[in-house]
Amino acid sequence: MKKRVLLGANLVGNSVRFSVFSEHAQKIELCLFSADEKKETRIPLHKDENNIWSVTLSDIKENQKYGYRAYGEFDPAKGLYFNPNKLLIDPFARDLSDSITDWENPAISLTNDLDSAVVVPKSVVVFEHPEEDLNRYPYLHKKPQTQWKDTIIYEANVKGFSARNEKIPEEIRGKFLAFAHPSTIQYLKSLGITHLELMPVTTTCGGLQLKKEKGLSDYWGYNPVNHFALDKRYGSREDFKTMVNELHKAGIEVGLDVVYNHTGEFGMQHNLISYKGLDAPNYYRLSDNGELINTTGCGNSMNVNTPVMNRILHDSLSYFADSLGVDGFRFDLAGDCALDSNTRFDPNGAFMQIIRRIAREKKVKISGEPWSALGGYYRGQMEGLMEWNDKHKEAVRRFYRGDENVVPELAAHISGGEGLYFGQTASKYIRFVAVHDGFTAYDVVNYNEKNNWANNENNNDGSNDNHSSVSPDQNIAFRRVKSMMSASILSRGIPLICAGDEMAHTQYGNNNAYCQDNELSWLNWQNLSKEQRDLYLQIRRLTALRKNHPNLANLDVFSGQIVPSNNRKDIEWIRADGQEMQEGDWHNKENHILACVINGKSSEISPNPSSKKNNDDDFMILMCGNTYGFVDFKLPPSPNGHKWELVFDTTGAHKKINDNNTYTLEPYSYVLLTSKKEQERVHERTTDLYLLNKQKQRD
């Protein structure tokens, strides 16, 4: 593919050029459909020296429906699945006529001669209108450009977020436009969200993977059949632009969860929809005998190392960033995408080079899972990618379950210290208690085991290792959730909140609700209890603290070195007697208390230039797992020499620091104390004097 020919359907003067890649096809036809899809016109394409098949046609209007039929060998032993009876989606189509809903229709099976045009969505010709977009969507390309250290991510499913929200007009519930509604924007702003991360929004086809009983469907959408076209379940391209425009206007970024590791075209006995029928050896990972390799556990694994897959990756990401205003991408199984053609991890391979280039050129955020379903775990090794950190999640859950020997690992996570292993000076990890895949935060503290029977897989799906436990009562349950969320949001790194965790959303123990497009998964906005409202307010408080204090919204990795201006370490780990922890304390497996003092002047010794002169108040964090009783914790002096004051205690109690400078810790709690710097005290005294004078004037 030496010559850069645009793939897909593109304007060339007053005509449209249709181009598709296939190295192994013997013949390809363009199929044009009438608006009602009853008439099909077939036009042969011509192949060039770069294996690109094309034809240029005049009189093609926008929204013209089309597809391809590819002729050639049908020989699975060679990885060839050509069958001209099957209509194929254009891999570069920027819109499709519909979502795939009739999964059980035998016409999409690759092994028969039935014409699949009756069920396969048609590709749709799209013309870009940048000048019109500029007028209709003035904020579409005015991206907030929030720095990573100030980013707070909210992961949400498009439908599940608003399907039951009565503040949203019924006709747009579960749609892109629900996120453009003023009530949604106000809600996200109130939570302090800066980056809305939507689960996959491109057209999906997971039905053949499911036992289609009792209304199960591909709710999550992790089975793409195209990497450009939006899923019609959620609305149109114009709806998407409206959503991005309104969120940008409010200062909120829009990110997408994208899937390049596998597709919705399943094994040899299953469907033929697009890539497989055009040229499987150039789109998929194949074994020596031509079988489609499954490195992901989800189905056919894509091979992003081939030239055409390089094009799909680069061009689809560019399309979403340039045409639809997207601010970031989260890569599902990024570690799998980074495997070379021999399934060996390559930190500088095609995948990593392309996404780093996209991040740089398009000024977008990139993040993802640093692991592969093959078992590889590449934490800290994917340069330029902000990595989801499931180890942080596990440590937080285990600590607040009362497990032994968790303190050292948790300390490394909350301080960003695990990055020292890779020589990093700033945390590159995204912290969370729960995400879409697994228990909700509330279910972590209310279930010992998964409850996935509704998925019709005999409870065999989903992880068995959830680091969860039933709480003694609901008071403790909500305390544990608040404490876990506090430990996550105030850790060094980038916090992520899974939609619904701020209101104690439950899936009744289902930790793999990928097929539950129903009230099990949809957020319930009605009749929230006092405990649920208090949890929401706690999340608001945590995100506000990060926003207002650079010592909390910071990616610096603590070093334990002395800050010369006050002769205290940037972080100090403290025992219950008020003394610094010693080597032996870290090996006490029965220790269930973790506490640290964060020096407000720690940025003075940061190797990261952006952190210089970013002084703040001192903070002290007290974390208590299951201690089976109260603990009087002796507070050490603050680095700035001022008294400690309570910011919050997840028990909900407004306790005071005792006269002997101790604080009473309760089981499963998270406590934040502060010692304000002198400038803050001067400001407070000045403010108090101003308010007193105003009161006197009124009197």
pLDDT tens digits, 2-37: 557 899 999 999 999 999 999 999 999 999 999 999
H/E stretch holding 632 reads: strand 631-634
Q: What are the two backbone dihedrals, phi and then psi, of residue 586, each rounded to the nearest 5 degrees?
A: -70, -20
The CA distance from 178 to 185, in Å, is: 9
Indicate if the pLDDT at residue 58 is higher than 50: yes
pLDDT, tens digit, for every residue of 656-666?
898 899 999 99
Query: By mean pLDDT, which of 160-164, 274-278, 684-688 is the weakest?
Result: 684-688
Q: Which pLDDT tens digit goes with each residue over 42-52?
A: 999 999 999 99
Enumerate domains of the chain plus CATH numbers: 130-548 (3.20.20.80), 562-684 (2.60.40.1180)
Q: How far is CA 433 from the centre of its chain?
A: 13
Residue reference for tokens 């859950």? 397
The tens digit of pLDDT for each residue in 540-590 reads: 999 999 999 999 998 999 989 999 999 999 999 999 999 999 999 999 998
| 291 included as an active-site residue | no
Q: Note the helical H segments in 151-207.
A: 158-162, 182-190
Given a cut of 80, is residue 267 above it in pLDDT? no
Q: Quick check: is 449 catalytic? A: no
Residues contacting residue 110 through CB under 8 Å, at least 6 positions apart: 81, 83, 86, 268, 270, 271, 272, 276, 277
Query: pLDDT digits over 488-515, tens only?
Result: 999 999 999 999 999 999 999 999 999 9
Look at residue 297 in the predicted model and tell me its pLDDT.
74
Strand, helix or coil for residue 158: helix
Among 279-288, 347-356, 526-535, the range scoring the smallest mean pLDDT is 279-288
**Catalytic residue (choose from 29, 265, 327, 332):** 332
Beta carbons within 8 Å of 690's beta carbon, 6+ residues apart: none
Query: What mean pLDDT is predicted for residues 421-434?
Result: 90
Would you state the pLDDT for residue 697?
Answer: 53
Average pLDDT over residues 424-446: 96
Report the alpha-carbon distance of residue 85 to residue 630 in Å, rounded.
Answer: 72
> DSSP states of 470-498 as a string?
--SSHHHHHHHHHHHHHHHHTSSSEEEEE
Q: What are the C-alpha distances in Å from 260 to residues 271, 316, 413?
A: 18, 11, 29
The predicted model gives 140-153 an average pLDDT of: 96
* Nearest-angstrom CA–CA distance, 254 and 648: 31
pLDDT of residue 690: 47
- pLDDT, position 360: 97
d(Cα 305, Cα 105) in Å, to the nearest integer? 33
Higher pLDDT, 32 or 419: 32
Q: Provide the 8-state DSSP code for 680.
A: H
- Mean per-residue pLDDT over the chain, rounded: 92
> Strand 123-124 and strand 65-71: pairing?
antiparallel
Nearest 5°: phi and psi at 424? -85, 145
Across the range 132-146, mean pLDDT stands at 96
Instruction: Read off the pLDDT band of 692 (50, 70, 90).
Output: very low
| Lowest mean pLDDT, pick from 203-217, 399-413, 569-583, 645-659 | 203-217
CA distance 126 to 133: 14
Q: Which of 369, 502, 616, 618 is catalytic?
A: 369
Max distance between CA atoms of the chain, in angstroms, equals 93
Q: What is the pLDDT of residues 610-627, one digit of tens each?
A: 777 778 999 999 999 988
Q: Is 281 helix (H, G, I), strand (E, B) or coil?
A: helix
Q: Give mean pLDDT, residues 451-463.
A: 93
* Residue 689 banded pLDDT, cuts 50, 70, 90: very low
Percent with pLDDT over 70 in the chain:
94
In the beta sheet, which residues pair with residue 17?
Answer: 10, 56
Question: Which segments within 65-179 are labelled E, that is strand?
Answer: 65-71, 74-75, 80-81, 123-124, 153-156
Lowest mean pLDDT among 113-122, 172-181, 645-654, 676-685: 676-685
Between the alpha carbon of residue 49 and those of residues 36, 214, 636, the distances in Å are: 36, 51, 74
State the average pLDDT over residues 591-613.
Answer: 90
**Are 192 and 205 in contact, with CB atoms under 8 Å apart?**
no
- Predicted confidence at residue 212, as pLDDT, reads 53
Give the model's confidence band at 423: pLDDT under 50 very low, under 70 low, under 90 confident, else very high.
Answer: confident
291: pLDDT strictly greater than 90 = no
Look at residue 332 and tell me whether its pLDDT is greater than 80.
Answer: yes
CB of 175 closer than 8 Å to CB of 235: yes
116 within 8 A of 40, measured Cβ to Cβ: no
